[in-house]
Structure 1
Amino acid sequence: MNKRALSATAGAAVAAVLAATSAATAAGSVLTTGSAGGPAVAVGDVVAASLSSGTTAKIATTSGGSTGITCNASGFSATVTGNPAAPGTATETLNSHTLSSCTTNIFGATGVQSITVNNLPYTTSVTSGGSLTVSAGSTGPIQTTLKINTVLGVTTCVYRATGLTASPSNTDNSLTFTNQLFTKASGPGTCPANGYFSAKYGPVQDITQGGAAVFVN
């Protein structure tokens, strides 16, 4: 092969590599910070959020109902375990989910002593196009234990879910759960049969990167 042909071949190879690199950069990752298509959220980064300003977390006894439990404080924290190029599915480990400052208007209840999310960590998947799924981890099912104060003492109600879904939004970097069904696993008859969880969290931030807003691509 002559020098001119060799040079042309090498030039074509370099151009192909540059084109592939450019395409990968343009595609971006599923989770980015600062903007859609911005820098990728790194594997190992911690992402977290509290309730969006002016909102509450609710556990209703019926879907969309007004009877149940309302919490003025709630938040979650997760570690990113995978963040491929978009379109794709990013993965996280949900390490913490808390609910506090709660009140109730369930008949016979006088207050809420505590709400504990059990069997953490859970597995979270975030898919391009705006879908988040929470699945049980290796320690057991998605489960929440409610301790409710009554005039007769404290009633313990345990609820489980087969899975949870939420909708991310890049408009305000929020994550919204709507009427996610939990069914009673144990507890006396005074415990409602079901709980429907709704909450809006945001902005979701990459704590490892100084609190930069997280986008889904």
Structure 2
Amino acid sequence: MDKRALSAALGAAVAAVLAVTASASATAAAGEVLTTGSSGGPAVAVGDVLSASLATGTQARIATTSGGSTGITCNTSAFTATATANPAAPGTATESVTAHTLSNCTTNIIGATGVQSITVNNLPFNAAVSSGGSLTVTAGAAGPIQTTLKVSTILGTSTCVYRAGSLTATPNNADNSLTFSNQLFTKYSGPGTCPGSGYFSAKYGPVLDTSQAGSPAVFVN
């Protein structure tokens, strides 16, 4: 082999090595859909428990109209979910929403004098988190997404049951939050004192991986 042929062969070999290295680096940099501590940080492990309360200074609201001011306001709310799959990004991670609570609630609905309780039924729900920056909650095996409200009224206690086909939230890595905006629930059962619809809005954050030491914040990649 002459010098020019040898040089070309060596050049091709080096190029091939560099291409493989670059490909491996890109794959490594991508990381998993859900990571802790930073974008591209350690992966959230399957089985890890993720949780969040309302973001500081915010409230959860169930309005009778989209974006309206009449409805129910809750000062305390939190959710807990378990990671069930966390593939490499870009992709879709999945979770099982095992708990969702709302309490310390008040109402300004005409005829209502107070909120006795709000119970989220049929847990766990399924959740899918995409690299595109959205989270979708859908019904699990126990039944549809359902919430039962017990409201005190001037006529006594009204039990209002609401259902939703699915819920969508937006993750934000800037503050590790998850925001639901005007998510529609439709009345499934209850007396006429129960509004026909409820629009749920809340911002939770930071979302934390409580299974890891120090409960680091969760990022979506």
TM-score, normalised by the number of residues in structure 2: 0.90
The 5-angstrom pairing of residues 46-85 of structure 1 reads 46-85=49-88
CA distance in 2, matches of 1:152, 1:175: 37
Three-state SS of the structure 2 residue aligned to 1:63 is: coil
Deviation at 1:16, TM superposition (A): 8.1
Deviation at 1:25, TM superposition (A): 1.4
Structure 1 unaligned regions, length at least 5: 1-7
- For residues 34-57 of structure 1, give each alpha carbon's deviation from its aligned partner in whole angstroms, at most 9, with x where no partner exists: 001111111110000000000000
The residue aligned with 1:213 is 217
Deviation at 1:14, TM superposition (A): 8.9
What one-letter code is carried by the residue in structure 2 that aligns with 1:212? P
Deviation at 1:12, TM superposition (A): 11
What one-letter code is carried by the residue in structure 2 that aligns with 1:154? T
Deviation at 1:24, TM superposition (A): 2.5
The 5-angstrom pairing of residues 90-129 of structure 1 reads 90-129=93-132
CA distance in 1, matches of 2:154, 2:56: 34
CA distance in 2, matches of 1:18, 1:62: 55
The residue aligned with 2:151 is 148
- For residues 164-208 of structure 1, give each alpha carbon's deviation from its aligned partner in whole angstroms, at most 9, with x where no partner exists: 000000000000000000000000011000000000000000000
The residue aligned with 1:190 is 193
CA distance in 1, matches of 2:172, 2:57: 17
Larger Rg: 2
CA distance in 2, matches of 1:51, 1:139: 26
What one-letter code is carried by the residue in structure 2 that aligns with 1:211? S
CA distance in 1, matches of 2:66, 2:125: 24
| Runs of 4+ residues deviating >2 angstroms | 11-24
CA distance in 2, matches of 1:86, 1:168: 15
Question: 2:162 aligned to 142, 148, 159, which one?
Answer: 159
Aligned length: 208
The residue aligned with 2:173 is 170
The residue aligned with 2:203 is 200
Please report the RMSD computed on the Cα atoms of aligned residues, expressed in angstroms: 1.8
CA distance in 2, matches of 1:38, 1:122: 27
The residue aligned with 2:45 is 42
Out of 174-183 and 206-215, give the one that drifted further.
206-215
Deviation at 1:153, TM superposition (A): 1.5
